């Protein structure tokens, strides 16, 4: 028996699936909402204030109203309840699925908030760089059209699902996604960074890239170490002349890319950023 948290109430689930999620849930019916994935280290949620800021902005953009008392402290308390029920004391990941509550078809009849929280264990407490570099290529079948919701982790995630399937079919570790202006904006589940001549480049949020929590941390770590950072349009040609390519998300940290087609990459700067990242999160774990 495992558990999920539905609107703050601990609910057991069995091999047959969860109970208590109504078939009229708008997240299920219309993908009407957002989600957050939060890394846990020894019971402590990392970068919780940053996650909270993004989810508040995401709910506002979706015109979903959070209830009074929906704060970082209340979210942390719910996480603790779930982690204790699941007996997760080391590394873990928690997903908060936030959908609009109430009835209606495409046009909602109300704009309240339903929250479903689930937890899974992770193998490590610290961030660990992958031993073997990922192989990648550009996903050709769909393009992202940037809009005011693009920067959030929306429940409607077809392009990411399809790009992941395409990567698996082609024996790749990840796929790169382009916008409708042919700029490369991110990968299947991560933000994208290039290192060229000691300078860090990443797509800007106006390109359609997700406003990743780890993206922000890496930019700040690079700037504090003296690296120049540019948010700009990235093209396949930029990939071919880069020294390093890496992907970031809050659960895995940094993952270095070993190859794009016939191009091969190093990981010296990426490795140093992972060391700096673990130094950053160490006080959060010990607090």
Domain boundary among 69, 99, 121: 121
pTM for the complete prediction?
A: 0.94
Distances (CA, A) of 281 to 22, 47, 99, 148: 38, 9, 30, 31
CA 59/CA 38 separation, integer angstroms: 17
Q: List, for residues 65-101, the tens digit of each pLDDT value.
A: 999 999 999 999 999 999 999 999 999 999 999 999 9
Q: Domain check: are 42 and 75 in the same one?
A: yes
Q: Domain check: are 150 and 243 in the same one?
A: yes
CATH of the domain at 109: 3.30.470.10
11 pLDDT band, cuts 50/70/90, is: confident
CA 225/CA 268 separation, integer angstroms: 14
CA 148/CA 154 separation, integer angstroms: 11
2 has a pLDDT exceeding 90: no
Range of the domain at 58: 2-121
CA 37/CA 118 separation, integer angstroms: 10
CATH of the domain at 165: 3.20.10.10
Position 13 scores a pLDDT of: 79
Q: Domain check: are 175 and 263 in the same one?
A: yes
Q: Domain check: are 11 and 104 in the same one?
A: yes
Q: How many domains does the chain have?
A: 2
- Higher pLDDT: 21 or 265? It is 265
Domain boundary among 121, 146, 180: 121
Q: Domain check: are 187 and 104 in the same one?
A: no
Token pair of 253 as six digits: 């940290």
CA 111/CA 94 separation, integer angstroms: 24
Edge to edge, the sheet with strand 2-6 lists 17-18, 9-14, 2-6, 113-121, 91-100, 33-41, 44-45
Q: List, for residues 128-154, the tens digit of each pLDDT value.
A: 999 999 999 999 999 999 999 999 999
The chain-wide mean pLDDT, for the chain, equals 95
Residue 126 placed within a domain: no
Q: Domain check: are 114 and 144 in the same one?
A: no
């Amino acid at each position: 028996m495992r558990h999920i948290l539905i609107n703050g109430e601990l609910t057991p689930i069995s091999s047959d699936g969860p109970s208590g999620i109504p078939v009229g849930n708008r997240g299920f019916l219309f993908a009407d909402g957002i989600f957050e994935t939060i890394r846990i280290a020894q019971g402590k949620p990392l970068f919780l204030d940053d996650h909270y800021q993004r989810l508040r902005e995401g709910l506002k953009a979706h015109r979903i109203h959070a209830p009074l008392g929906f704060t970082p402290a209340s979210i942390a308390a719910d996480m603790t309840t779930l982690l204790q029920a699941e007996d997760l004391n080391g590394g873990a990941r928690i997903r908060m699925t936030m959908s609009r509550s109430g009835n209606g078809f495409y046009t909602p009849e109300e704009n309240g908030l339903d929250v479903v929280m689930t937890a899974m264990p992770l193998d490590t407490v610290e961030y660990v760089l992958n031993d073997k570099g990922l192989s990648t290529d550009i996903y050709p079948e769909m393009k992202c059209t940037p809009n005011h919701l693009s920067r959030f982790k929306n429940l409607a995630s077809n392009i990411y699902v399809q790009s992941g399937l395409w990567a698996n079919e082609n024996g790749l570790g990840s796929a790169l996604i382009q916008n409708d202006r042919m700029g490369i904006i991110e990968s299947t589940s991560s933000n994208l960074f290039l290192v060229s001549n000691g300078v860090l480049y990443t797509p800007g949020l106006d390109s359609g890239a997700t406003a990743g929590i780890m993206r922000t941390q890496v930019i700040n770590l690079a700037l504090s170490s003296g690296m120049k950072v540019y948010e700009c349009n990235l093209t396949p040609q930029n990939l071919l002349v880069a020294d390093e390519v890496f992907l970031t998300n809050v659960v895995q940290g940094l993952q270095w890319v070993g190859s794009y087609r016939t191009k091969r990459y190093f990981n010296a700067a990426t490795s140093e950023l992972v060391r700096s990242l673990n130094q950053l999160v160490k006080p959060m774990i010990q607090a």
